[in-house]
Chain A
Amino acid sequence: MIKDTINSTARRIPAWLVYTVGILPAAWFLYEGLTGGSGADPIKALEHELGEFALKLLIVGLCITPLRKHLGVNLLKFRRAIGVMTFVYVVLHLLVWLVLDVQIVSQIWADIVKRPYITVGMVGFALMIPLALTSNNLSVRKLGVRWRKLHKLTYGIAFLGALHFVMVAKGIQLEPLLYMAVVLGLLALRIPKGTLQIAGRFTAKSVDN
């Protein structure tokens, strides 16, 4: 079965490979920006590519549990590396915004406070910091159950990330809405079955199917 092939392959792939392979797109985006490959405004391009890649990684990270639960595909060993790389991409995205894009220190703070899409993005980033800090074995051991609870923040972060993308778009654009739909879909998979059945009793038809 495909499932078993994936699982046995995954067992042979070391998790550290996620870090080395994961950083390659960032290197590529930077190279493209420096050599004119990313168009006339390489700053915006780089900023956008890093942000979108972070969102992709968030989505991949959110897929791990449902894949195991519903399809029996076990990629759990890669989850931490994916999470850490998501944080790395968000930091790079933020750095490009600060250093290359906005440039002006007084404007940075004004933007964070005054512009809702940036506020949303910054809150998402702030919520990632405790997750990044506790992404080591010691923290997992020390925090125990609380570690799992803490890392449920990922759900909120993913939502804020997608919302940030939706809010930054001018007009109604398809791409950010698709990201939002995927994130919401993956979050919906986490709603315990019972909750849906209870909710179903209050609505005309069952949401369960």
Chain B
Amino acid sequence: MAYRWKNTLSDNDVTDHSLFLNRRQIMAGAAGLGLATAIGGPRAALAQEALEPNSFEDISSYNNFYEFGTGKDDPAKNAGALTTTPWTVTIDGMVDKPGEYDFADIMAKMTVEERIYRFRCVEAWSMVVPWNGFELKDLLDLAGVQSSAKYVAFETLYRPEEMVGQKFPTLEWPYVEGLRLDEAMHPLTIMATGIYGKDIPNQNGAPMRLVVPWKYGFKSIKSVVKITLTDKEPPTSWNIANAREYGFYSNVNPEVDHKRWSQATERKIGGGLFAKRIPTLMLNGYEEDVASLYEGMDMSVNF
């Protein structure tokens, strides 16, 4: 079911790019004022002030997509080589209708809506992205999730001839990710197929990528070709690479530091050379929506 969650971040139209730039300047001033009032006030006030979508340019030029290289500008440089048509997604495991789903067929059945989400990278930078996409639940419902399923496993395309980064073992390829079923079914969890109303650029995970806004960015797996419903916690790439630093949950949490850096603050991309750090919000500001999923869990153990 689409539209289960409504943007509260910004009611403004995000399509007109020139308007953005104007608004950004106004917001820059407002953010300054917000900073002053937020010192004693709630953190959310500060976050609300800072919520201005990043430019299409920022979003499509500053990417972590190691399949195309480890530099931030590598994906934009190298992802042009990726063919995204035809594209099929295998949905298998504990589903009623396992099989290969054609991307075009999926799109014909899904309701695409806009979601303006905060995006917090584990490297302590962040953006605000106006995604276009559909709820993952709708796609899973299409395949019919069986009651025995507890987790969802995802896999990125493995095609080293088009994805140059896969020629070097930065990570074990293909990239894999996973969610608990209730996380996957949550209205906030979407499969994004566009940004700013345009088709999602290859470097951002074309033609279809997961977006889980309350988790660190690497959970939001790109260019998905396989979705498997399972009853076991699936392996995840960064956890395989370094279990000490990257847990299965990887929920945004200012109180649980990364082993090599603090997660208490972040720098919003687009603020230039003198951008101030802003406090990182619990569950990336989606605490009200998703905290109930983790009730009774110790987030510092299940990081």
Q: Which chain A residue lies CB-closest to B73?
A: A39
- Indicate whether A40 sits within 8 Å of B62 (C-beta atoms), given known contacts A34-B273, A171-B70, A173-B70: yes
Q: Are A41 and B267 CB-contacts (below 8 A) given A33-B273, A103-B276, A171-B241?
A: yes
In angstroms, Cα B261 to Cα A102, docked, is 10
Interface centre among B54, B57, B125, B261, by most chain A C-beta atoms within 10 angstroms, is: B261
Which B95-142 residues have a C-beta within 8 angstroms of A? 123, 125
Tell me whether B260 is interfacial, beta carbon within 8 Å.
yes
B169 lies within 8 A of chain A by Cβ? yes
A residues lining the B interface (CB < 8 Å)? 33-34, 36, 39-44, 46, 100-104, 107, 110-111, 114-117, 167-175
Q: A40-B61, A171-B171, A172-B170 are in contact. Are A107 and B269 (CB under 8 A)?
A: no
Contact indicator A43/B270 (Cβ below 8 Å) = no
User: Taking chain B's interface residues, is the majority helix, strand, or loop, or is none over half, making it mixed?
Assistant: loop
Taking a contact as CB atoms under 8 Å apart, the answer to whether A41 and B269 are in contact is: yes
Q: Which of B54, B264, B272 contacts A107 (CB 8 A)?
A: B264
Contacts A40-B72, A171-B170 given; indicate if A104 touches B265 (C-beta within 8 A).
yes
Interface CB pairs A-B, < 8 A, 19: A34-B273, A39-B61, A39-B62, A39-B73, A40-B57, A41-B269, A42-B272, A42-B273, A43-B275, A44-B125, A46-B273, A101-B267, A110-B262, A114-B257, A167-B260, A170-B123, A171-B66, A172-B171, A173-B170
**B residues within 8 A CB of A41?**
62, 72, 125, 267, 269
Report whether B58 and A107 are in contact in the complex, using a CB–CB cutoff of 8 Å: no
Encode B248-269 as 1/0 by CB contact (under 8 A) with A: 0000000001011110110101
Using A101-B267, A171-B66 as known contacts, list a sample of 13 further A-B pairs with CB atoms less than 8 Å apart, ordered by residue number in A.
Answer: A39-B72, A40-B57, A40-B269, A40-B270, A41-B267, A42-B272, A44-B125, A103-B276, A104-B277, A167-B260, A170-B70, A171-B171, A175-B70
